[in-house]
Amino acid sequence: MDNHYDKFVLVEYLQKYFRVSGKQKLKAVDGISFYIKRGETLGLVGESGCGKSTAGKTILGLHKPTNGKIIIDGQDITKLSSKEKKQFTRKIQMIFQDPYASLNPRMTVSDLIAEGLTIHKMGSKDTKLRKVHELLKLVGLNKEHASRFPHEFSGGQRQRIGIARALAIEPEFIICDEPVSALDVSIQAQVINLLIKLQKELHLTYLFIAHDLSMVRHISDRIAVMYLGKLVEIADTTNLFENTLHPYTKALLSAIPIADPHYEDKKQSIQLRGELPSSINPPSGCTFRTRCEFATSACAEKEPKLIAITNDHFVACHQVTSDK
Amino acid sequence: MKKILDIKNLTIDFNTYAGRIQAVRNISFSLYEGEILAIVGESGCGKTVTSKSIMRLLPEATAQVNNHSEIIFDGQNVLKLKGKELKKIRGDEIAMIFQDPMSALNPTMKVGHQVAESLLIHTKITKKQAFKEAVQMLKLVGLPMAEKRAHEYPNQYSGGMRQRAMIAIALACKPKILIADEPTTALDVTIQAQIMKLIKTLQADLNTAIILVTHDLGIVAGMADRIQVMYAGQIIERGVREELFYDPQHPYTWALLRSVPKVSQKSKSQLYSITGTPPDLLYPPKGCAFAERCEYCMPICRKDPPVETIISKTQSVNCWLQHKDAPKLNKPSGLKGVIHGQSL
Ligand SMILES: Nc1ncnc2c1ncn2[C@@H]1O[C@H](COP(=O)(O)OP(=O)(O)O)[C@@H](O)[C@H]1O
Ligand SMILES: Nc1ncnc2c1ncn2[C@@H]1O[C@H](COP(=O)(O)OP(=O)(O)O)[C@@H](O)[C@H]1O
Ligand SMILES: [Mg+2]
Ligand SMILES: [Mg+2]
């Protein structure tokens, strides 16, 4: 049995609603629960707009949750005073998708990386500079890069700067929000390799957000699939790919084009009808039913709960669980 | 099969304050009727510049197309066309869709009217007929509630819907050639799958020849008849789909195929990645452009550019490894195999 402390990150029934035009509520994140063990990577996937970034930002503390618990290293961070929170947020950092937009163009690489140290008043000027040089080396850049500006770097290099910046204050938990989506395949592999290496060396815990599953499979120990603010399936990576249960996960997996012509020719892909519905007026019952080929009238009535099928495989689908 | 487009010695430079960027360096290729030709390669290798030159969409102030370049369509050199002739080719005969649909859509005009306008330029029908046909086109490309949506503006559309609208505009006058430049890079895989299926269906129905520009080898595997790989402004290998995926010859093609994670690969193991970056096109190297990053680089590779070696009727490669005196080597493992996703 896992004991409680194994769950380094524990998210319980997290909700984040945004108020939009008048009294309407946009349910960006609508009651998600998951855990991440220390040193583990949880992949979080789903189409754009399903609430992945909002979930990440809420856990990071950039949004105040509407409801739910975020327990990190045994502490519910939604209950902390602002001073305690500042101390605590040192443990959590985020790496963003867009290495261009997330770095202030007027700051040098050195200042960018040291910013967190300055905010948290960690170290003198000299120790900070030494730290910056160490970090640059760690992410595969060098000392000479310290005095340059972000625009002098390629996309892959900028993402390395973003990673060095996140690592500066020695976080234990890093939320990676689509860190490689904007990069070429060969550069993606370099950044993923770096993240894997750092995780091993520094025993980091990752929440790895992505909208496709290509790299997620390689880096994640477990994967959670999100649809319209809710989780529809969570399983360890092998099971998610090999014993896929939820129709949405199946469609998502079959939509990934595979770089093998014979495979592509034989592939019977499941085409999803239409697009993601609005999070302001989500469909009743199972929110996926409007795009699901197996939907019955029952699916419109009751919301499916995330149910354990095996020890580490959960799914929220009436069709799957009624067979059991 | 009949050649529909013949590109010879295409060479394009950009004059910038930093100097002359040699974006496309003497490439030649043909497009055949009804086929899908994929152009692949890392960002900056010249895919978009090549595509835009066919449509004559490059900025005239900075882009300089070398004088002996030819783009032959329908017996005439597109590069020499002016005014009305050019306008007829653009859109009517050759249409292009882009990664960013907003760059092609008019934000102040209802989508239905934009499709209708495209129809009106090239066919003699009334405005009313054109709008009716526009709605049909929007239905054809799978726009939900097309009758209603035709009266909306692009900013009321999602990314996938905008992409569909742009395809509808591009296809409205039944072009002979469609150039699709990373049409789905900004979209989710689920929507990407829908759009790719749409392009394939339309291609089969209308017999349009397609140039598909992408950096995603998965898309290429499912879509292309023929493939050409570009590197630093040059075509370094070409062949039919089976040849390039199952019998590639260029170390750069190998590297591209190896960069994609395979199912058989242990999770969290180090992925193969190409070291370094492509050369600076202000000062392209005098030998093989890939030499700097190539695991198999020989002294000759840095000295002289490799010549084209014919492998089969359809496949050719520019690499010194093909030379009779070059060492015979075994191709690296890890080129083949299902890459991710479920078993069938
Ligand atoms: N600050 C905000 N205010 C209002 N709505 C928001 C805000 N941030 C995100 N949303 C909405 O929440 C939903 C989820 O967005 P997001 O978390 O960015 O999705 P993802 O990261 O999965 O693409 C979307 O409908 C988005 O428009
Ligand atoms: N308008 C321009 N001015 C100067 N250089 C340009 C311009 N457009 C493209 N380039 C350069 O030409 C090269 C090829 O670019 P492009 O065709 O857009 O690459 P790809 O589409 O393969 O990513 C790049 O080095 C790029 O920087
Ligand atoms: Mg996001
Ligand atoms: Mg391009």
Shortest distance, CA B157 to any CA of chain A (angstroms): 11
Q: How many CB pairs under 8 A join A and B?
A: 150
Q: Are residues A86 and A125 in the same domain?
A: no
Q: Are residues A52 and A149 in the same domain?
A: no
Mean per-residue pLDDT of chain A: 90
**Residues of chain B neighbouring A264 (CB-CB closer than 8 A):** 218, 221-222
User: Do the domain assignments include residue A205?
Assistant: yes
Give residue-wise pLDDT tens across range B309-328: 999 999 999 999 999 999 88
Q: Which ligand is nearest to the CA of A97?
A: 3
Q: How much is the ipTM here?
A: 0.86
Candidates A154, A261, A269; nearest CB to B277: A154
Q: Are residues A133 and A191 in the same domain?
A: no
Ligand 4 centroid – CA A267 distance (Å): 28
Determine whether the interchain pair B260/A185 forms a contact, defined as Cβ–Cβ distance below 8 Å. yes
User: Do the domain assignments include residue A242?
Assistant: yes
Tell me if chain B has a CB within 8 Å of the CB of A100.
Answer: no
Ligand 3 centroid – CA A53 distance (Å): 4
At the top level of CATH, which class does the domain B1-93+205-262+272-344 belong to?
alpha beta
Q: Are residues A218 and A279 in the same domain?
A: yes
Query: Given this model, what pLDDT does residue B259 score?
Result: 85
- Out of A163, A187, A205, a domain closes at A163
- pLDDT of B184 over the 90 cut: no
Q: Are residues A186 and A155 in the same domain?
A: no
Determine whether the interchain pair B344/A267 forms a contact, defined as Cβ–Cβ distance below 8 Å. yes
Contacts with B209 (C-beta within 8 Å, 6 or more apart), sequence order: B4, B5, B31, B32, B33, B34, B35, B36, B37, B176, B177, B178
Q: Which ligand is nearest to the CA of A96?
A: 3
Determine whether the interchain pair A218/B271 forms a contact, defined as Cβ–Cβ distance below 8 Å. yes
Q: Are residues A73 and A27 in the same domain?
A: yes
Q: Residue A156: count other Cβ atoms within 10 Å of its Cβ.
A: 22
Give residue-wise pLDDT tens across range A46-102: 998 899 999 999 999 999 999 999 999 999 998 888 888 878 878 999 998 877 778
Q: Are residues A199 and A301 in the same domain?
A: yes
Q: What are the C-alpha distances in Å from B40 to residues B34, B95, B154, B219, B234?
A: 19, 20, 29, 10, 11
Query: Given this model, what pLDDT does residue A323 score?
Result: 61
User: Do the domain assignments include residue A2?
Assistant: no
d(CA A86, CA B236): 54
Tell me if chain B has a CB within 8 Å of the CB of A272.
Answer: yes
Q: Are residues A144 and A212 in the same domain?
A: no
Q: Point out the ligand 1 atom lying closest to the alpha carbon of residue A50.
A: 22
Give residue-wise pLDDT tens across range B205-261: 888 999 999 988 999 999 999 999 999 999 999 999 999 999 999 999 999 998 888
State the residue range of the domain holding A256.
Answer: 7-91+171-321
Q: Are residues A134 and A246 in the same domain?
A: no
The two three-digit tokens of residue B232, written as one number = 């630093």
Q: Which ligand is nearest to the CA of B98?
A: 4
Sequence letter at residue B297:
C
When mean pLDDT is compared across A246-250, A262-266, B32-36, B239-243, the lowest value belongs to A262-266
CB of B177 closer than 8 Å to CB of B208: yes
User: Do the domain assignments include residue A263?
Assistant: yes
Q: Are residues A74 and A118 in the same domain?
A: no
Residues in a beta bridge with B101: none
Determine whether the interchain pair A258/B341 forms a contact, defined as Cβ–Cβ distance below 8 Å. yes
Determine whether the interchain pair B261/A212 forms a contact, defined as Cβ–Cβ distance below 8 Å. no
Ligand 2 centroid – CA B58 distance (Å): 10
Q: Are residues A64 and A185 in the same domain?
A: yes
The distance in angstroms from the start CA to the end CA of chain A is: 24
Nearest CA to ligand 1 atom 2: A18
**Residue A34's domain is classified under what CATH number?**
3.40.50.300
Q: Point out the ligand 2 atom lying closest to the alpha carbon of residue B233.
A: 14
Q: Which ligand is nearest to the CA of B182?
A: 4
Best residue in B188, B220, B240, B244 to probe A by mutation, most A CBs within 10 Å? B188
Mean pLDDT for A222-248 is 96
Chain A residue with Cα closest to B267: A218
Ligand 2 centroid – CA B49 distance (Å): 6
Determine whether the interchain pair B221/A192 forms a contact, defined as Cβ–Cβ distance below 8 Å. no
User: Do the domain assignments include residue A100?
Assistant: no
The residues placing their C-beta within 5 Å of ligand 3, an ion, are A 53
- pLDDT of A1 over the 50 cut: no
The residues placing their C-beta within 5 Å of ligand 4, an ion, are B 47-48
What percent of chain B is modeled with pLDDT above 70? 97
Q: Are residues A193 and A223 in the same domain?
A: yes
- pLDDT of A224 over the 60 cut: yes
Domain extents for chain B? 1-93+205-262+272-344
Nearest CA to ligand 2 atom 3: B14
Best residue in A260, A264, A270, A276 to probe B by mutation, most B CBs within 10 Å? A260
Contacts with A119 (C-beta within 8 Å, 6 or more apart), sequence order: none
Q: What are the C-alpha distances in Å from B55 to residues B86, B94, B100, B177?
A: 9, 7, 17, 10
CB of B136 closer than 8 Å to CB of B187: no
Counted domains in chain A: 2
- Out of A130, A163, A196, a domain closes at A163
